[in-house]
């Protein structure tokens, strides 16, 4: 066994995600062997591609870092990027070795061939040398060869790893370190789950690198990924070496300055710090919200000794003299008689034995009714009840006795509080009548709660309320609640109206679930409105909304004229006229802060919308409103768009409840956009039970999407949803710095349509009648000054997303992440959340990292769904893919992202088969539409001929959706709105040609590239995918095209390669040189059909 008690040791640093695993090996003779075993995985990582962190520079343009991709693991030495830091000493040899690798990776230069050959030779020799030197470890009598458990990623011809290779390398180093730690520490202080995961990773990586036959699809897919990335890396480094040697005037790249490595390391540290701080703030926000809204579990009320004593006195007053034993005497402490008579034999415990008879004494009722002098005489028998000093209790007990009811020891009755809380006690009429008899002797009564007493009759409650009309009570009553008294009716409501008129300080009135007759609704509203001190009203499930619309309008106008702060009218049936009137009335109200309209939308003739839309449209007028409950109102994605538009500048609305509504993904998108908008004050929304709902139909073109704005919109302006959609289009046009008439062109209209204008509150005022068909001109948007500095199609995507999509405001990011954290463990709800984010949001890598690390079980799905929503740079893609937990998880997620990873926006020409249900494939379709419109603009500016298949200048050819031609649905590909389902197939033929400073590829470099392809001996499809991803850096002539096509035996692969490199041809006049590679005429026809007959 290896002893850890050694002063000198070697330090192993393995960057696995964001953790630096630091392990110390003990013996000096073991140090060199472990270092040699570890050198194989560290060297390729030190020489792997580096990430260009600069957001201002394109990683493939002159003046940048010259390369895509990655932060070397040895940067951890400078930045100490770790979540668990162990302060261990490195020996001088290890430090010198790390400095050597750091200088190589940070200098930006390239090594000579002799250095590369020597390094590769050392790498290939390390594991064999270590095995020959007897590199074995023993544990518990078992011998294992470490070299057999550390398969190297350095295979034939693959000296550099790609994204997937780097991930496996990091996982392998981390897993190996954990196993070595387990061997040295005897697995005492190690989490067993970590060891199991490490062993599974080692086994999986070994299977990837092993060439034995297997039927496991995951292993086969992993091997294909490794082959593809090895070939990609070799060709990439050939191109980087060539580009850095070229002068800048000819398209060369600057060398990376030595200080860039430290900048990247500090940037990585800042991102890690941002994620940790954000998690802390999110947890604090959730806790504060629960405290403010009383959502935490309340502790049980402690029963004091004083309360117990009052309860005992109450029952003693009622029971003391009703029944007595003849030998009892009164106890001074508790008021009970004990057996102490000497002439009565007792048992050992003090109880009487022998003959004892029950004697009927004067009952409490007779004493109270007859006012017996025995009760009042000072010489009265001690066995008699002492007089009741409190008249309120005397009246109550007398009434209970007369009605043969057992009294209730309420805190109000026993004199403990000045409020009567009888909620949920199932009171009957005799009980409430007994309480009513005690009212004349009550000095003050602040609160009355009779909730959920369903057995009380209407007349009994009315009699009780009339007994409350005492001067001492009406001047002190603050709250009255009759919720759940379902038998309360006309008499009760009349009594409530009279009581409201008599009170002076009543602030809270709850009549929920009390049926209010039609003729009593207006008098009740008038009484409420007349009392300015009445602030909180609950009229839920009271039958409001029935009768003529004019009547309910008068009621709501009367109600809103008061000084109400809380108004609850849920569980009624309101029409569109009521909601429209309510929105108008709230414009003049300056006090209402809480409004509850849950389950109040009546059925409407138009089942696609809810009547509550008429209120949501005018929500911006209710400026004091802070909390709104519109749950269970059939609110779908259309209603959410109306809500999002209305609250854009609403600063006071903080909390909205949308639970139990069929929102779906499209509805949830609107909620998240509203929450992330910095111009409103929304802090929290509740969508419990609303994650499934209606989705737009295939023929539904009136759907708002920030990524698919182009196309026609047929708007009926008498509907709130269409008016809100028009206003949202106006806001989208504003973001491109245009006026609405410049982008939204009128195709047809009725009744003289004219574009709206903004009012003093910043709200677009639009027509409320007529019908109009508008066309959103995406071409005009791309001509904005915002795109003036964009020089290539790759930058178009990033700039368009920055302008059109939603960026979470810094002050709203915590609230957005708090909503995400509350869904932890709910898989379906989390799926809807990330899908909504992927459609409309433009996130940073730090925000994606925070979302992924919040839920460990949903991490892989979160990354897979949202990787298309981060800035389209290789650095962000690489870092996001390094966050997977295991190798198996990485393989499965990369398979789902295969189309997105292979997509090259700088050379989009090729065939696409996209499953639009996957967010990554849907993002490719949106980007192709954007690139198509961008290239249409370029073609018009350069006055190129129209080579499209349909004569609309579109670069999309043979487009099929659901097996039908896309041209049968829309005039052009740019007018199509991407749905979220089914399959899209198309051929894209770009017209982008080489820039003036880009020369023909050097023949020696071209020969090296062909040699790299031959040496890897990869499948033709892998080679085609690699060449397509790097085609934007390659410019060839007809002769080189012929040589390139000769690599592929399959006609389909030759056609795909030719289509990919057609725009990269420096000259196309010598087409006979490469056309000889196509033997069949059908291949030529297929090629011409994909590119265009006039171009090919």
Residue 492 contacts by C-beta under 8 Å, 6 or more apart in sequence? 458, 461, 462, 465, 482, 485, 514
SS3 154: coil
Taking the model in full, what pTM does it have?
Answer: 0.77
State both tokens at 280: 């802390």
Q: For 983-1014, what is the HEC assignment?
A: EEEEEECCCCCCCCCCCCCCHHHHHHHHHHHH
Strands (E), 326-383: 328-330, 337-339, 358-359
Residue 190's φ and ψ, nearest 5 degrees, are -125, 135
SS3 510: strand
SS3 707: coil
Residue 463 contacts residue 433 (beta carbons within 8 Å): yes
pLDDT in tens, 593-610: 999 999 998 887 666 778
Alpha helices in 713-826 (DSSP H): 720-735, 740-743, 778-781, 793-804, 813-822
Rounded Cα gap, residues 438 and 473, in angstroms: 12
pLDDT number for residue 161: 54
Residue 934 contacts residue 716 (beta carbons within 8 Å): no
Residue 298 contacts by C-beta under 8 Å, 6 or more apart in sequence? none
Task: Point out the residues of the chain with pLDDT beneath 50.
Answer: 1-160, 320-365, 367-372, 374-385, 997
Rounded Cα gap, residues 290 and 286, in angstroms: 6
pLDDT number for residue 570: 92
State both tokens at 635: 């609110």
Rounded Cα gap, residues 374 and 549, in angstroms: 68
Residue 38 contacts by C-beta under 8 Å, 6 or more apart in sequence? 12, 173, 176
pLDDT number for residue 301: 63
SS3 800: helix
State both tokens at 1079: 């033997």
Using a 10 angstrom Cβ sphere, with 0-12 exposed, 13-18 middle and 19 or more buried, the burial of residue 903 is buried
Residue 833 contacts by C-beta under 8 Å, 6 or more apart in sequence? 668, 672, 819, 820, 823
Q: Say what the alpha-carbon torsion angle 392, 395, 397, 402 is, to the nearest 10 degrees.
A: -160
pLDDT number for residue 68: 31
Cα separation values, 307 from 87, 90, 303, Å: 61, 71, 7
Residue 813 contacts by C-beta under 8 Å, 6 or more apart in sequence? 278, 676, 847
Rounded Cα gap, residues 592 and 5, in angstroms: 73
- The Cβ-side half-sphere exposure at 566, using a 13 Å CA radius, reads 11
Residue 879 contacts by C-beta under 8 Å, 6 or more apart in sequence? 51, 71, 845, 849
pLDDT number for residue 96: 35
Residue 1071 contacts by C-beta under 8 Å, 6 or more apart in sequence? 1038
Q: Give which of 758, 869, 846, 946 is closest to 279, Cα–Cα.
A: 846
Strand partners, 325: 358
State both tokens at 992: 């982008």
pLDDT in tens, 3-39: 222 222 222 223 333 333 333 333 333 344 434 444 4
Rounded Cα gap, residues 36 and 129, in angstroms: 8
Using a 10 angstrom Cβ sphere, with 0-12 exposed, 13-18 middle and 19 or more buried, the burial of residue 138 is exposed
């Amino acid at each position: 066994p290896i002893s850890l008690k050694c002063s000198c040791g070697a330090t192993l640093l393995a960057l696995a995600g964001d953790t630096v695993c630091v392990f110390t090996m003990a013996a000096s003779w073991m140090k060199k062997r472990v270092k040699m075993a570890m050198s194989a995985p560290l060297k390729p990582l030190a020489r792997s591609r580096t990430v260009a962190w600069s957001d201002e520079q394109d990683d493939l343009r002159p003046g940048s870092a010259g390369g895509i991709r990655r932060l070397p693991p040895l940067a951890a030495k400078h930045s100490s990027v770790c979540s668990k830091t162990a302060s261990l000493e490195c020996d001088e040899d290890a430090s010198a070795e790390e400095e050597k690798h750091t200088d190589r990776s940070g200098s930006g230069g390239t090594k000579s061939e002799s250095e590369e050959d020597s390094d590769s030779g050392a790498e290939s020799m390390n594991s064999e040398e270590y095995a020959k030197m007897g590199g074995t470890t023993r544990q518990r009598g078992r011998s294992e060869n470490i070299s057999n458990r550390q398969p190297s990623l350095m295979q034939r011809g693959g000296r550099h790893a790609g994204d997937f290779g780097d991930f496996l390398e990091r996982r392998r180093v981390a897993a190996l370190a954990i196993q070595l730690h387990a061997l040295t520490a005897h697995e005492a202080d190690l989490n067993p789950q970590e060891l199991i995961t490490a062993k599974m990773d080692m086994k999986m990586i070994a299977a990837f690198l092993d060439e034995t036959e297997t039927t496991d699809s995951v292993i086969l897919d992993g091997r294909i990924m490794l082959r593809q990335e090895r070939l990609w890396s070799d060709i990439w480094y050939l191109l980087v070496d060539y580009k850095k040697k070229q002068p800048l005037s000819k398209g060369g790249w600057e060398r990376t300055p030595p200080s860039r490595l430290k900048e990247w390391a500090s940037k990585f540290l800042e991102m890690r710090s941002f994620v940790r701080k954000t998690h802390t703030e999110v947890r604090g926000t959730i806790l504060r919200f629960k405290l403010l809204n009383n959502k935490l579990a309340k502790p049980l009320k402690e029963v004091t000794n004083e309360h117990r004593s009052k309860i005992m006195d109450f029952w003693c007053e009622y029971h003391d003299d009703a029944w007595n034993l003849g030998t009892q005497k009164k106890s001074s402490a508790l008021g009970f008689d004990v057996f102490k008579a000497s002439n009565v034999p007792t048992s050992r415990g003090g109880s009487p034995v022998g003959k004892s008879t029950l004697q009927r004494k004067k009952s409490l009722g007779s004493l109270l009714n007859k006012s017996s002098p025995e009760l009042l005489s000072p010489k009265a028998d001690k066995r008699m009840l002492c007089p009741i000093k409190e008249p309120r209790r005397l009246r109550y007990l007398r009434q209970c006795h007369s009605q043969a009811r057992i009294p209730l020891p309420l805190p109000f009755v026993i004199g403990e509080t000045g409020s009567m809380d009888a909620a949920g006690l199932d009171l009957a009429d005799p009980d409430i009548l007994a309480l009513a008899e005690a009212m004349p002797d009550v000095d003050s009564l602040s609160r009355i709660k009779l909730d959920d007493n369903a057995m009380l009759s209407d007349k009994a409650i009315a009699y009780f309320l009339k007994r409350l009309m005492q001067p001492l009570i009406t001047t002190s009553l603050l709250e009255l609640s009759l919720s759940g008294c379902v038998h309360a009716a006309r008499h009760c409501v009349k009594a409530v109206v009279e009581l409201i008129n008599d009170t002076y300080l009543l602030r809270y009135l709850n009549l929920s679930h009390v049926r209010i007759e039609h003729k009593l609704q207006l008098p009740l509203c008038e009484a409420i409105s007349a009392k300015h001190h009445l602030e909180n009203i609950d009229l839920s499930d009271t039958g409001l909304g029935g009768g003529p619309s004019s009547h309910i309008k008068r009621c709501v106008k009367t109600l809103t004229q008061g000084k109400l702060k809380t108004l609850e009218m849920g569980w009624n049936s309101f029409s569109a006229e009521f909601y429209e009137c309510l929105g108008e009335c709230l414009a003049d109200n300056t006090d209402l802060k809480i409004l509850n309209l849950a389950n109040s939308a009546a059925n409407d003739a138009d089942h696609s919308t809810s009547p509550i839309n008429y209120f949501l449209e005018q929500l911006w007028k209710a400026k004091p409103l802070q909390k709104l409950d519109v749950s269970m109102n059939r609110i779908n994605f259309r209603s959410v768009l109306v809500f999002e538009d209305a609250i854009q500048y609403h600063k006071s609305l903080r909390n909205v409840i949308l639970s139990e509504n069929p929102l779906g993904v499209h509805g949830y998108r609107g909620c998240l956009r509203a929450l992330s908008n910095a111009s409103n004050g929304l802090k929290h929304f509740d969508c419990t039970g609303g994650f499934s709902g209606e989705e737009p139909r295939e023929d539904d073109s009136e759907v708002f999407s920030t990524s698919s704005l182009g196309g026609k919109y047929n708007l009926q302006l008498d509907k709130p949803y269409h008016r809100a959609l028009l206003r949202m289009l106006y806001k989208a046009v504003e973001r491109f710095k245009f006026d609405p008439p410049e982008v939204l062109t009128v195709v047809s209209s009725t009744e003289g349509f004219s574009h709206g204008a903004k009012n003093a509150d910043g709200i677009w005022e639009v027509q409320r009648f007529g019908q109009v068909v508008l066309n959103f001109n995406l071409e005009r948007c791309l001509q904005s000054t915002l795109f003036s500095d964009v020089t290539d199609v790759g930058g178009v995507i990033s700039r368009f997303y920055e302008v059109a999509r939603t960026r979470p405001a810094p002050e709203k990011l915590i609230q957005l992440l708090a909503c995400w954290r509350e869904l932890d463990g709910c898989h379906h709800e989390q799926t809807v959340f990330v899908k909504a984010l992927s459609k409309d949001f433009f996130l940073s890598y730090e925000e994606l990292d925070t979302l992924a690390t919040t839920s460990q079980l949903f991490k892989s799905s979160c990354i897979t769904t949202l990787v298309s929503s981060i800035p389209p740079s290789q650095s962000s893609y690489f870092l996001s893919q390094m966050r997977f937990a295991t190798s198996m998880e990485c393989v499965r997620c990369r398979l789902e992202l295969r189309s997105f990873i292979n997509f090259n926006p700088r050379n989009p020409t090729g065939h696409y088969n996209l499953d639009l249900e996957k967010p990554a494939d849907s993002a490719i379709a949106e980007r192709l539409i954007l690139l198509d419109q961008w290239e249409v603009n370029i073609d018009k500016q350069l006055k190129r001929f129209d080579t499209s298949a349909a004569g609309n200048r579109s670069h999309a050819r043979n487009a099929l959706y659901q097996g039908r031609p896309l041209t049968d649905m829309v005039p052009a590909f740019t007018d199509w709105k991407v749905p979220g389902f089914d399959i899209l197939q198309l051929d894209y033929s770009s017209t982008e040609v080489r820039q003036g400073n880009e020369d023909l590829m050097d023949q020696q470099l071209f020969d090296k590239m062909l040699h790299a392809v031959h040496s890897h001996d990869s499948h033709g499809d892998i080679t085609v995918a690699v060449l397509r991803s790097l085609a934007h850096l390659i410019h060839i002539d007809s002769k080189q095209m012929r040589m390139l096509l000769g690599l592929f035996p399959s006609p389909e692969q030759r056609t795909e390669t030719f289509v990919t490199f057609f725009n990269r041809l420096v000259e196309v006049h010598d087409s006979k040189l490469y056309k000889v590679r196509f033997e069949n005429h059908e291949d030529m026809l297929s090629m011409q059909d994909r590119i265009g007959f006039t171009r090919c």
